[in-house]
Structure 1
Amino acid sequence: MSIKWTGVMPAITTPFNADYSVDHGFIRQHVQWLVENGSTGIVPCGSLGEGATLTSEEKIAVMKTVVDAVGDKVPVIPGIAALSTREAVHLAQAAEDLGCHALMILPPYVYSSDWREMRQHIVSVAQATALPGLLYNNPVAYKTDFSPAQIAELARELPQIQAVKESSTDARRVTGIRELIGNRLALGVGVDDCLVEGVDAGAQFWIAGLVNAFPKESVALYNYAMQGKKEEAFAIYRWFLPLLRLDTVVKFVQLIKLVQQEVGMGHERVRAPRLELTGAERESCLNILRTAMANRPAL
């Protein structure tokens, strides 16, 4: 499958049963619902998918479920992150064997060092398969920041890298990357509350979080932004922003899963060390959601 780096690609949450095993039945239902509502790709096993608390075997099983559920309707682009480069290479090769269509390549968990080491990690994973690669830059979460110049260097060396998910929270990064590489890489927004700004700067796709609960609104917002329909885009954006900002804080997984539960598309269970929200923190999220639901735009 040729990857078209456009549209809204949900970074899906990983649902858990009451015993905290992975709920593969709901994964199948959820990703099919997302595709039916206009999603153009599915990204399992990322940060929002609690990849750090899934074993390699569980990640591979999640990939298989998603591939089986969506077939060739949209590309499946799993997050490839691990404590070691060896494990990341293993996951990449397993993804290829399962029929995934591309790889979202992350720096290693926990260990974050200099450019020489991080560069070698990305090169090793990208060259481990024939699949196209999406470089994930998220310095807030992973403490590794791929600068525009470093991304340009990787683009020159690795034809496998086709796109960048830019999650530095700085929309200027999109223009900075574009300045150095032109159209060599497709650029995507990886922060929920920077979509309109990112598109204005030249981003072509959106790997989103709140789309897990609000796919129609997410797709409409993206389409209006890409079409340059400012008034329509900002009408949705103003309504959506309090929810989208839930994606940019430490407990974004708990918050998004709670929202999913409240709209009837998921459960708030998370794996330790995360804990379900309680008290004022939980009520604050519910108040944001109640306000949003009371003013939900007609699409």
Structure 2
Amino acid sequence: MTYATVMVSLALNQPNNARLQVAGELAERYEAALVGVAAAKFAPPIYFTDGAAAQRLIDQEEAAVKRCLADLEAEFHAATATRTRGGRAEWRSATDFPARFVLAQARCADIVVSGGQSPAFSDAFSLVSPKDLVMQAGRPLLVVPDRITWLDLRDVLVAWKDTPEARRAVADALPMLRKARDVTIVEIPEDDDDRSAVVARVGDVAAWLARHGVTATARVSGAGGAETAAQRLEKVADDVAAGLIVAGAYGHSRFRELILGGVTQYLVTQTARCALLSH
């Protein structure tokens, strides 16, 4: 397995340098095509006039949206000009709701790269939230904090949980895990878990990875006391100097699954390292 097409989601009025840098690195590492994608839509005001004045306002705002998308296209091509082989860089944009457009375009990609830390109340007219992407894209999402300057694959931490989402995440991450210097698999046990069963689970994952050419160390987190699972995971990540965390993504809302679980929420919003998430 490899990544043949990397898609990077750009946002209006947000820093895009980090995600462009990492997406370009991925395209170089795997000789992949690179697709940049963005969308935005004019948000009508709450109080609206009519007639010629209204039409002028609509025309002005729609023209402004198109200019912003053109600026993003220029930023994408400038950042990726030396990153793709044979000019395999493509831009896709539309005056549309960002979530609807970007989620549809994800069908062309093996992996989607996005920023993290979306605002608590994000503007559906100008921004696709990483929460939407991770729960609905049907592709692994690589969340890149704004402070990241490169994709550090020297030490990778796999946050294991015996669920379909975690199994999918490890399979999706195989191309990166094969590039890593050290891979650690950790499970954060619940208070009532049988520790011997937890040890057996992470041992199975390490053995599976070994059959795929990845040498990994299995580890079980100790008792956390009053600490949350996210806090315990952060300690392990710091301990192994992880540049990337691989994990399954979980939601609590049956209606749209947009309310993320505690660890997933942490991985989308933390600023120290990249995170590869699969749902």
Higher alpha-carbon Rg: 2
Higher helix share: 1
TM-score, normalised with respect to structure 1: 0.30
Higher strand share: 2
